[in-house]
Structure 1
Amino acid sequence: MNTTKNYIFTSERLGFRNWISEDVEEMAQVNSNPNVMEFFPATPTFEQTKAFVERMQKQFSDKKYCYFAVDILQSGTFIGFIGLSDKDFESDFTPCVDIGWRLSEEHWYKGYATEGAKACLKYGFEKLNLEKIISTTPKINLKSEEVMKKIGMTKVKNFDHPLLLEDNRLKDCLLYEIINPG
């Protein structure tokens, strides 16, 4: 467990922070679960998880947002990530800022993804003055689409994800967005 908690912001039950090196092992455990990674083309290796954490640390340093490491406030337990990240793959809606989440399976169905995503939208709109935030998911990922709806996002379109064109199961994706209400 992390002993020093430097939360950038919190929600009712969750703390959002930049990544620390001790998170790599715990995130690698989340990433190794085939149920967590069901709607991704592959399970990341430990080295890929480490590189992801380093990218998030750099992005936070540069932009003051990332897919934040998330802890349960009451216990300090790391549960995965929820946050904002740049997307720049080839499409008609990039570059853009994406909201996403990946939580350990034992923390599913507790409302954490929805609660955390709402807090990240608030941070993105009120603190960072972002104009628009998008989210994408394979069409078959009904759980993530449900979170998108619960946090007030609107479906824009279906699209073939350029990074998933070789994966017939995952390439048909949904694009949702939400505009800064302020």
Structure 2
Amino acid sequence: MTEIRTPRLLLRRWSDDDLVPMAEINGDPEVMRWIADGSVRDLEQTAGDIERWEEEWDDEGFGLFAVELLASGELAGFTGLSVPGFPPEALSEVEVEWRFGQQFWGQGYASEAASAVLEFALTDRGLDRVISFVQPSDTASENITRKLGMERERETAHPEYGYPLVVHAIDLTEYLA
């Protein structure tokens, strides 16, 4: 089983015990405002999400990790890698993603977890490049991409909802520099 430890976090595969806390995170309108159309997700939808995330591990050899605080064992959210379903020019890319409960914001957990995932992607999984999509007004996620060393590459629009997205990217050469 794939796990990553950082000084404060355990990034691991999903368990049945993660469903309720992840559904609570997905049910928070403030957490979800930058995701898709901003709608919250209920317990059943979250169960389907976790199932899909686990299937991506089986299909791709990477996926979204449940992020657990080492000190307390609490589920803080997720971070990991996925193949984006949009836009067409990014279908062959791999994206780093994160989503954390509001009570875990502003403590560096997302940056710490995403940094570990980026290293995993580029050194363990042999990927040459990783991207991230961020809405221009999502300054917290913009800050995380900057901390990861990702550069703004281009702008696009969400194909279903039409809002602007900025594509950030880093390749192995940039990462190792």
Q: Taking structure 2 as the reference length, what is the TM-score of the superposition?
A: 0.92
Q: 130, 133, 138: which one pairs with 2:135?
A: 138
Q: 86, 92, 95: which one pairs with 2:92?
A: 95
Q: Pairwise mapping of residues 151-166 of structure 1 onto structure 2 (< 5 A)?
A: 151-165=148-162
Q: Which amino acid in the other structure matches residue 175 of structure 1?
A: V
Say whether residues 1:78 and 2:70 are aligned partners.
no
Per-residue Cα deviation, 1:26-58 (whole angstroms, up to 9, x for no partner):
100001111111223111122211111001111
CA contact (8 A) 2:84 2:90 kept: no
Say whether residues 1:64 and 2:56 are aligned partners.
no
Q: Distance in 1 between matches of 2:4 and 2:141?
A: 23
CA contact (8 A) 1:7 1:15 kept: no
Q: Which amino acid in the other structure matches residue 36 of structure 1?
A: V
Q: Distance in 1 between matches of 2:111 and 2:87?
A: 28
Q: SS where residue 31 of structure 2 aligns?
A: coil
Q: SS where residue 92 of structure 1 aligns?
A: helix
Q: 124, 127, 130: which one pairs with 2:124?
A: 127
Q: Distance in 2 between matches of 1:62 and 1:94?
A: 15
Higher-helix-fraction structure: 2
Runs of 5+ consecutive residues of structure 1 not aligned to the other structure: 1-5, 166-170
Instruction: Tell me which stretches of 4 or more aligned residues in structure 1 moved more than 6 Å.
Output: none
Say whether residues 1:118 and 2:110 are aligned partners.
no
Q: 165, 170, 174: which one pairs with 1:178?
A: 170
| Equivalent residues, number | 172
CA contact (8 A) 1:125 1:180 kept: yes
Q: Distance in 2 between matches of 1:11 and 1:61?
A: 24
1:168 is matched with none
Q: Distance in 1 between matches of 2:125 and 2:46?
A: 26
Q: Pairwise mapping of residues 43-62 of structure 1 onto structure 2 (< 5 A)?
A: 43-62=40-59
Q: Which amino acid in the other structure matches residue 103 of structure 1?
A: F
Q: Distance in 2 between matches of 1:128 and 1:139?
A: 29
Q: SS where residue 79 of structure 2 aligns?
A: strand
1:3 is matched with none
Q: Which amino acid in the other structure matches residue 78 of structure 1?
A: L
Q: Which amino acid in the other structure matches residue 74 of structure 2?
A: T
Runs of 5+ consecutive residues of structure 2 not aligned to the other structure: none
Q: Taking structure 1 as the reference length, what is the TM-score of the superposition?
A: 0.89
Q: Which amino acid in the other structure matches residue 32 of structure 1?
A: G
Q: Which amino acid in the other structure matches residue 120 of structure 1?
A: V
